[in-house]
Chains A and B, each alone.
Chain A
Amino acid sequence: MRRPIKIIPRLIEAETRKAQPPDLSPESREPPVGAPLRFDDVEEQVSLISMALGSPSDLAVRRTSDGVVCLFLSPLVDQGAVRHSLVEPLGKADWSELQEKGQAARLLPVAGLSEARSLEAAVDRVAEGETALIVHGRPTPYTLDLRGRVARQVSPPISEPSVRGPRDSLTERLSDNLGLVRQRIRNRNLRVRELTVGLDTRTRVAVCYFEGKASPEIANAVIQRLSAIDTPAVLDSSYLMTYLAQRTWLLFPPAVATERADRVCAAIIQGRVVVICDNSPFALVIPIQMVTLFQANEDHYSLAIHSFLLRTVRIIGWLAATMAPGLYIGIASFNPGILPAHAAMTIAAARQGVPYPPVIEVLIMDIALEMLAEASVRLPTYVGGAATVVGGLILGTAAAQAKLVSNVMIIVVALTAIGSFAIPDYQNQLSWRTVKYLFTLSSAFLGIIGLTTAGLIILVYVCSVDVLGVPFMSPIAPWRWTAMVKDVAMRVPDPLAVELGKQQREEEAEGTADA
């Protein structure tokens, strides 16, 4: 979606009315003095482009010869490439050859060279970082892709570190990221479709999928939804999330945001669609299911039995993160009878002297925990660690000693925190941290029955969600047994997974399975 630059059409229209039909014959290349302005006038084109861009201070105008001017935004262009690919070849050649159609490609050793359809299009391309080559006698400039900007080197993933597996992660540069993908999937069926989104930012976005594995309907739907985005700014891939899901209010992320190049490739191979956004080190994997959010790429680098253990631990962590506070409230306030007598007595004794009901106790500690988590993210690494230790140990111990909360509560909060950190996907972690409050409050009203009520409400919600037509709770609901056996609670060893994958594809072909 391109936003028209208003000033240019008006100027061009104004000049068009004054101008004679362009005469491109060799005799008429030099404009006579006092003649009406023409598009093939170099200075006029430079002036128009410069005006359209607001005469920015970083606009470089380089005259390589009498009839040729290069024009580019210096921060976006590789100056060395300009020198080697443009200035030097032009210095050796006769610039007038460029006036002939098709000669530019022969003279200039640049891959991304084309002639702009209009001056307006040229302005857009310069704004995007391309270089305009204005040649006297040509009605519109050539544009060359000599982009080069300051970019981070490929580095290990920060938010998804792993013990095993590759250490390279995506960067902010789209071309680098596509390179990382292509290095791993060296197959002709890898499809990459590039789009521009964001009316003001005009961000480049690449949609990657594997032809023959990804559902064509889903790939097309992703492209259509991205093309229809009319938001002014897309500064990160996360901006695209709600547009892709087409749901305004989301409780759980409809896409996995990953910075791991291997995870991106694994998703493509699985038949998912990956959206890589320029200026964002996080790619979006879509469509996903709830179970995907509990899988780490490391699962596939471990033995199947080990990954089963890790996934089980994650599920226990998830249960603790979401339900431990609610369970504490339920037991302490409503249903102490479900514990053995001495355990119930221990909780009651620990709560002696605490002036609040358990729900207030839980909310105080949960909010303190949220603040600690937020502080540790926002603060610099060396201060963040100290703040967490100070907050966790000193504040918790002091609160328990002052009888503001019980000792058992400290254990519950610690369990909640550790459990939430065991959830692999950060967005998923945040979602469940939000859901935890629903569990907590329901439990405060109806005890354990309230906890199960909240569980049912969440179950209804997740069962009602489809992401690009794929049920979010699949393969658990609706049942897809092959997929469930293959890679849900445990990941089957690879040779078996290949066999199950074939079976799954057959089921899909027969229409008895989802995407």
Chain B
Amino acid sequence: MREPYLSWPEAAWLIVQYSVCANYLFMPQLLYSISGRLSWAVPIIAIPPAIAGAWAVYYLHTRFPGERLGQFLPRLVGRPLSIAIAGLYILFWIGGSVTNVTVFAHYLSDTILQFTPVTVLVATNMLIIVLVSLSGLKTLVRVNDALLFIVAPFLLFTWLWPFVASRLDFSNLLPVELSELTSDPLRVAMAAVTMYHGYLILLIAGPALNPSGLTALTAGALGTLLSVFVFLAFITMPLLAFGWPYANLLTYPAASFLEVVAPKTGLFPIRRFDFVLTVFFRYIMIVAAMSYFYSAAQTMSDLVSPAAKRMHPWFVVTLGIVLVMLSTLFKGIRTVMEFTSMWVILGASVAVMAPILALVAFLRPDAGHGR
């Protein structure tokens, strides 16, 4: 296989998965609590900052085409600051991985596998994630490619079926009261900035892009725009189906969406449907958790040993074990949800950091030399 190996459609799909997966379980409830009925507008408001972020990552990619974040950061901002900034990214990625794995494990433990300890479920998911990371980015991309054939039909179904099932009432989105958005503008802004953060994966996968350069922008922009449909579906459809404030009262993330997608008949086997959806959700979750984990591990490895061709296997395994241990701190799905509020702050910070880094790179044209 020729190197580099990541085509722009593959990169765009990776970005979609990376953006969507972390958020589908908790973002609807999080947004309902912040911006109420007008939550459906946030995915649209979030597009411009995401495109700006994608452009920033593209610019960094063109300045440091063969390098990952952990490799070029020390030359761009100096060693001490690079550790701080990379640390922020690492925390975000680790948080994303733990959140994904744990929230899903709790979800399973509360619904389908009630007698299985959460830690066992977390460890099972982490096993797959560590296996992928040991195999490298190429394997991650291929797994993500292969999951297209499972996840994409599911996503199409979730977008289209509710319209066929005629459970949607568009009047539930009205009236539009801007005060709902402005009641807590900082949190709304943070949620919007964090929402489409998938382009950040190019800070790690950028060197693999084929061809390099403009491909990064194409993949970043396209991936972000495709994610909009997914977020709109997950956030808006419960509102359309149940209206405000009922959509906000549903206990479990994603459960509301299940109700939306389920056909409107009393005989419909909702438990079976729940099961099938859960399996699909798991596929989406695992790709995001893999990407987060890989990004964190690779950046840590690059900071310590920028020239290393591969991450040390024991380092990857140890990080996996640490994350399983971290997950035990979450005592229930509500704890995870509370953590995600903090994680969104981290997400907003790293999303804002990308344009800042691009600006620094623009102002310091000599920073790219000397590798």
Residues of chain A touching chain B, judged by Cβ–Cβ distance below 8 Å, are 334-335, 337-340, 446-450, 452-453, 456-457, 459-461, 463-464, 466, 469-471, 473, 476-479, 511-512, 514-515
Contact = CB atoms under 8 A, between A and B. Distances in A.
B275 A463 contact: no
B42 to A, nearest CB: 32
Nearest to B287: A456
Given A340-B269, A457-B128, A478-B7, A470 B1 contact: yes
Interface string B141-172: 11111111100000000000000000000000
B33 interface: no
A471 B131 contact: no
Contacts of A453: 124-125, 127-128
A476 B147 CA distance: 10
Contacts of A456: 128, 143, 283, 286
Interface stretch (B108-116, B196-204, B333-341): B108-116
Classify chain B's interface size.
35 or more
Interface string B1-16: 1100101011000000
B142 A452 contact: no
A469 B2 CA distance: 8
A450 B112 CA distance: 12
A477 B128 contact: no
Chain B interface, DSSP helix/strand/loop, else mixed: helix
Given A460-B132, A460-B139, A466 B9 contact: no
A463 B143 CA distance: 6
15 contacts: A334-B113, A335-B275, A338-B275, A449-B113, A449-B124, A449-B279, A453-B128, A456-B143, A457-B127, A457-B131, A469-B1, A477-B145, A478-B10, A479-B7, A511-B2
Contacts of A477: 142-146
Interface string B257-300: 00000000000010110011001001100100000000000000
Contact of B275 (A448, A478, A511): A448
A114 B133 CA distance: 57
Given A456-B286, A460-B135, A478-B5, A335 B112 contact: yes
Contact of B282 (A334, A449, A463): A449
Contact of B149 (A449, A469, A476): A476
A176 B276 CA distance: 55
A446 B272 contact: no
Interface string B92-118: 000000000000000010001100100
Interface hub of B127, B131, B144, B145 (most chain A Cβ within 10 A): B145
B210 interface: yes
Given A446-B113, A449-B113, A476-B149, A460 B131 contact: yes
Contacts of B282: 449, 452
A334 B109 CA distance: 12
Nearest to A456: B128
Given A337-B271, A456-B128, A514 B142 contact: no
Contacts of B272: 337-339
A390 B136 CA distance: 50
A473 B142 contact: yes
A452 B104 CA distance: 14
A478 B128 contact: no
A83 to B, nearest CB: 56
Q: Which 4 pairs, one residue from A and one from B, show the smallest C-beta to C-beta distance?
A: A477-B145, A463-B142, A477-B146, A464-B135
Contacts of B141: 478
A447 B146 contact: no
Contact of A446 (B2, B124, B147): B124
A185 to B, nearest CB: 27
A446 B275 contact: no
Contacts of A340: 269
B172 to A, nearest CB: 31
Contacts of B143: 456, 459-460, 463, 477
Contacts of A479: 7, 9-10, 145, 148
Contacts of A463: 135, 139, 142-143, 146
